[in-house]
Amino acid sequence: MKKYHLILSLIAMSLSGCASIPPPARVSTVSVSKVPGKAMHILDAYITETDGRLAVCGRARQAFQWTPVRAGHVDVQFLDNNGQELALKSVAIWLQSRHSPHSYPAPATFEIPSEPWPRATARIVVSAHEGAVHS
Ligand SMILES: [Zn+2]
């Protein structure tokens, strides 16, 4: 029982600064999907609201392979009901490379400020890619 509480508080600590649970009311119907990448994976992604400003936050790490990946970026696509892209926002991330095939370094956290939030957004798709942010 004690151990369970400790784990919960550790999770809460690691999320602080970039989290609000449950999801902000004005985007509660927006679904969040993560696209598995070849070089890196999105571990989690969620919408947060801080002082009335929405952002997309989460964590990414390199995929289970030996290839070291250092520079990458996270893309958030804002899609409407018909799957039409309303906006694309990206942020650069830096990943530590793995020191052994049996362990992962700490994941990289990201925060993408998303104001103005495209009003017709029905779904967001979060993915991570190698290399620089799309220009
Ligand atoms: Zn990309």
Sorted by where each starts, the structural domains of the chain and their CATH numbers stand as 20-130 (2.60.40)
The token pair that represents 16 in the structure block: 């602080």
129 CA to middle of ligand 1, Å?
A: 5
HSE-up of 65 (CA within 13 Å, CB side)? Answer: 10
Dihedral (CA of 96, 99, 100, 104) sign: negative
If one compares 87 and 20, the residue with the highest pLDDT of the two is 87
Residue-wise pLDDT tens digits, 50-98: 888 999 999 998 876 656 667 899 999 999 999 999 999 999 998 876 6
Name residues with Cβ closer than 5 Å to ligand 1, which is an ion: 75, 129
- For residue 109, give Cα distances in angstroms to 29, 31, 52, 78: 24, 20, 21, 20
CA 94 – ligand 1 centroid, Å: 14
Average pLDDT score, the chain = 83
The pLDDT value given to residue 13: 47
Ligand 1 centroid vs 48 CA: distance in angstroms? 22
pLDDT of residue 5: 62
Of the two residues 91 and 5, the one the predictor is more confident about is 91
Size of the chain, expressed as the number of residues it contains: 135
Confidence of residue 121 (pLDDT cuts 50, 70, 90): very high
The Cβ of residue 99 has, within 10 Å, a number of other Cβ atoms equal to: 9
* pTM: predicted TM-score of the whole model, two decimal places: 0.79
CA pair distance 37, 108, nearest whole angstrom: 15
